Amino acid sequence: MSTPYREQFVALADREGRGGERPAWLVARRAEAMARFEALGFPTTKNEDWHYTSLSSLAGAAFEPMAAGSSLLTPADVSTYSFGASLPTIVFVNGRYSSALSTMHGPPDGVRVLRLASAVHEEPTLLERYLTRIASLDEHALTALNTAFLHDGVVLHIAAGTQVSTPIHILHISDRAAAGGVTHLRALIVVEPNAKAMVMEQYVGLGAEAYFNNAVTEVSVGDGATLNHYTLQRESEGAIHIGTIEVRQGRDSHYNAFSFSSGGALARSNVYTVLAGEGCGCTLNGLYMLDGTQHGDHQTRIEHAEPNCFSRELYKGILDGESHGVFNGKVYVHPVAQKTDGKQTNNTLLLSERAKIDTKPQLEIFADDVKCTHGATVGRIDEMALYYMKSRGIATDTARKLLTYAFAAEALETIEFAALRDGLERLTLERYAGVEAGA
Amino acid sequence: MSLLEIKDLSANAGDKEILRGITLSVNLGEVHAIMGPNGSGKSTLAQVLAGHPAYDVTSGSVTYDGQDLLDMDPEVRAQAGVFLAFQYPVEIPGVSNAYFLRSAYNEKRKAQGLDEVDPMDFLDIMEAKLKYVDLDASMLNRSVNAGFSGGEKKRNEILQLAVLEPKLAILDETDSGLDIDAMRTVADGVNKMRSAKRSFVIVTHYQRLLNYIVPDYVHVLANGRIVRSGGKELALELEEKGYDWLTEPAGARA
């Protein structure tokens, strides 16, 4: 099968062949990934995991390697995406590292932030151990495609015992020159034992153009370590965004993810974690706000592979216009994973008659001593709450917006990093309540 | 002139007729108790006055402060000084009490042509009012009624009453579900709000609340009509005899 991606793959290999050496294992892994992608092809709606999300617009389009950014961006522009916090930030514009916009000086002690392109030379042992080892190619065509084109991105290494209380910010900006282009963004985050760190990965579109960002982030959370991982998807309204996060967790580790998404014409977020050490746990929360004809799909998979682990999940969605939301949360409990404690919730608020949600919680349990619950609600604004607020003198429109904000706030409250929590609350309040925050 | 003038008011919930011609006049500064058995329509009367969307007024009129109350939206009634303390206060997760109260307070000020108060000044106002109902300032940061105990919810209603300073306060079974201590706290809060410039309509099933909030008038509602009116001693009589002697029509026991 010859696809535009095969030609691009050959071109990338040629270019790199001239530019410098790549480790043999990586070259082999990429070739394997390309073959795997070609064997799988883009998933169709016959694939159970893609039943509600059609990629026909992606499969039918020929996205070219993304052109370099043309915007005159300044560090001040970048800081508007940091929610008022001063964060070590590594910036990519249209898939290309920007040293001018990145503020990589002084990451905290114990934290190393590297470009993937150079890390393959500087940290060969680390990369060979983790890179492409966590995100699986076998069933995931888009991960395979990303891996085939793996050439740059970010490597974060948090040394054992390090405690960091502000996030490292990875910011991907797509400007108007991104139109018609594709990038395969990659990140590797390794948190060594007993460390605690925060990472914020953000995708921002500056225009309204159609482009395709296919991102993969691999995460290893070592024994006794904690990672708070925030993902913000605010792509342009024409964009296709596929973001996959795969996590491997060690004994007594904690992985806390929050996924915020409001952008893209077609967006899919995958968060897959394996609870691979006894006594570990994860919290996967998220908020999606869609309008117009946006399609937003969130898929999570939590694999309980060891006993005495917990998982918590709260995804909330606000759908307006003719938007279409999808939530599919899988919890898989292995026979050995006794005393598993799992709870999953998906709540959707429909603001219009034509907005639509498909929600599918899935529990597959093969152990006999577990506690797992799941629940999904789909509703409109609570008329009693609306009346209660009106009976206190608050106008209908204000009350309706405030209740919409309140719906979102329950999820946002779970964000530990205060500047982000407050920032997203403000953003939500402005969007739905049209007032300055002050709640 | 009366503050509230209800004339021959009838109202339905869906197809079901609940109020069947209520006539009641409340002057400024008076406290009226509405008593009656379950299903008599007393809570419906309270909700119709506040503008609950589930009830349709089929006939009659309600004049409040010279205006046609039934023609006003619920929020306009509130801004004009009508307040209903709910029997079942609604939980609003995600909206803090402070934000909720300040929004309500400012809406009323805007309607009166006054400037809004900022969060810091509002906090000063709140501190005094919290003492009325023995609530801690920490409850301001909690979501409206979410996870509140029954007593906290009722005290929160009275706190809102104290903050919004209505001209007409309607209390719908504010004593239901409260133990005697909580009821006394709530009653104390209400008594502090009594004034010659404020009227109360107190809906209650039991007489006990009226030991603490002593009414000027007592009305008994049965089957959607006021069947008897009197002074505060009528409440004691009801406590003693129950409602049956008033509600059973002659010849019911065939």
**Chain B positions in Cβ-Cβ contact with residue A388 (cut-off 8 Å):** 86, 89-90, 92
Distance from CA of B118 to the nearest CA of A (A): 9
* Nearest to B57, CA basis, from B22, B99, B108, B100: B22
Burial of A259 (0-12, 13-18, 19+ CB in 10 A): buried
Sorted by where each begins, the domain ranges of chain B are 2-247
Q: Say what the pLDDT of residue A16 is.
A: 79
Distance from CA of A255 to the nearest CA of B (A): 25
Are A439 and B111 an interchain contact pair (Cβ–Cβ within 8 Å)? no
Residues 6+ apart with CB under 8 A from B245: none
Under 8 Å between Cβ of B48 and B253: no
Say how many CB pairs under 8 Å bridge A and B. 84
Q: Compare all CA atoms of chain A with the CA of B53 and give the residue at the minimum distance.
A: A387
Are A394 and B104 an interchain contact pair (Cβ–Cβ within 8 Å)? yes
Q: Alpha-carbon distance A434 to A423, whole Å? A: 15
Residues of chain A with pLDDT under 50: 1, 436-439
Distance from CA of A245 to the nearest CA of B (A): 29
Q: Say what the pLDDT of residue B254 is.
A: 40
Mutate to test the interface with B, among A287, A345, A390 (most CBs of B within 10 A): A390
Residues 6+ apart with CB under 8 A from A255: A219, A221, A226, A227, A229, A247, A249, A273, A280, A281, A282, A283
Q: At what angle do helices A141-148 and A24-40 cross, to 10 degrees?
A: 140
Q: Say what the pLDDT of residue A23 is.
A: 87
Distance from CA of A356 to the nearest CA of B (A): 24
Is the minimum CB–CB distance between B126 and chain A shorter than 8 Å? no
Residue B108 Rama label (left phi>0; alpha psi -120 to 50; beta): alpha
DSSP-derived pairing of the beta strands A212-221 and A181-183? parallel
Is the minimum CB–CB distance between B72 and chain A shorter than 8 Å? no
Q: Compare all CA atoms of chain B with the CA of A407 and give the residue at the minimum distance.
A: B94
Q: Compare all CA atoms of chain A with the CA of B157 and give the residue at the minimum distance.
A: A392
Under 8 Å between Cβ of A147 and A30: yes
User: Element (H or E) spanning A229, and its range?
Assistant: strand A226-234
Q: Compare all CA atoms of chain B with the CA of A414 and give the residue at the minimum distance.
A: B94
Is the minimum CB–CB distance between B47 and chain A shorter than 8 Å? no
**Chain B positions in Cβ-Cβ contact with residue A410 (cut-off 8 Å):** 93-94
Q: Alpha-carbon distance A54 to A58, whole Å? A: 9
DSSP-derived pairing of the beta strands A168-174 and A196-205? parallel
Are A385 and B90 an interchain contact pair (Cβ–Cβ within 8 Å)? yes
3-state helix vs strand vs coil in chain A, percent to 5: 25, 40, 35
Q: Alpha-carbon distance A9 to A381, whole Å? A: 49
Under 8 Å between Cβ of A264 and A296: yes
**Chain A positions in Cβ-Cβ contact with residue B90 (cut-off 8 Å):** 382, 384-385, 387-388
Nearest to A407 among B50, B89, B94 (CB): B94
**Chain A positions in Cβ-Cβ contact with residue B103 (cut-off 8 Å):** 392, 394, 398, 402
**Chain B positions in Cβ-Cβ contact with residue A399 (cut-off 8 Å):** 75
Distance from CA of A256 to the nearest CA of B (A): 21
Q: What is the DSSP letter of A9?
A: H
Residues of chain B with pLDDT under 70: 1, 248-254
Longest dimension (CA), chain A: 73
Q: Say what the pLDDT of residue B253 is.
A: 44
Distance from CA of A393 to the nearest CA of B (A): 4
Q: Compare all CA atoms of chain A with the CA of B86 and give the residue at the minimum distance.
A: A388
User: In this structure, which topology does domain B2-247 adopt according to CATH?
Assistant: Rossmann fold (3.40.50)
**What is the DSSP track for A382-408?**
-HHHHHHHHTTT--HHHHHHHHHHHHH
Mutate to test the interface with B, among A316, A318, A387, A392 (most CBs of B within 10 A): A392
Under 8 Å between Cβ of A379 and A348: yes
Cβ neighbour number for residue A39 with a 10 Å cutoff:
10
The SS3 of residue B156 is helix
**Chain A positions in Cβ-Cβ contact with residue B98 (cut-off 8 Å):** 439
Residues 6+ apart with CB under 8 A from A253: A191, A221, A222, A223, A224, A225, A226, A227, A277, A280, A281
Is the minimum CB–CB distance between B147 and chain A shorter than 8 Å? no
Identify residue A379 by its one-letter amino acid code.
G
Nearest to B95 among A387, A438, A439 (CB): A439
Are B103 and A398 an interchain contact pair (Cβ–Cβ within 8 Å)? yes
* Nearest to A77, CA basis, from A171, A185, A211, A200: A171
Q: Say what the pLDDT of residue A17 is.
A: 72
Cβ neighbour number for residue A276 with a 10 Å cutoff:
19
Q: What is the ipTM of this complex?
A: 0.94
Beta strands in B52-98 (DSSP E): 55-64, 67-68, 82-85, 92-96
Nearest to A390 among B74, B94, B100 (CB): B74
Nearest to B75 among A393, A402, A409 (CB): A393
**Chain A positions in Cβ-Cβ contact with residue B77 (cut-off 8 Å):** 391
**Chain A positions in Cβ-Cβ contact with residue B92 (cut-off 8 Å):** 385, 388-389, 403, 406
In DSSP terms, A191 is beta-bridged to A158, A221
* Nearest to A333, CA basis, from A306, A359, A312, A358: A306
Q: Say what the pLDDT of residue A107 is.
A: 78
User: Element (H or E) spanning B130, and its range?
Assistant: helix B119-132
Are A410 and B164 an interchain contact pair (Cβ–Cβ within 8 Å)? no
Q: Alpha-carbon distance A215 to A92, whole Å? A: 13
Cβ neighbour number for residue B113 with a 10 Å cutoff:
6
Under 8 Å between Cβ of A147 and A28: no
First to last CA, chain B: 46
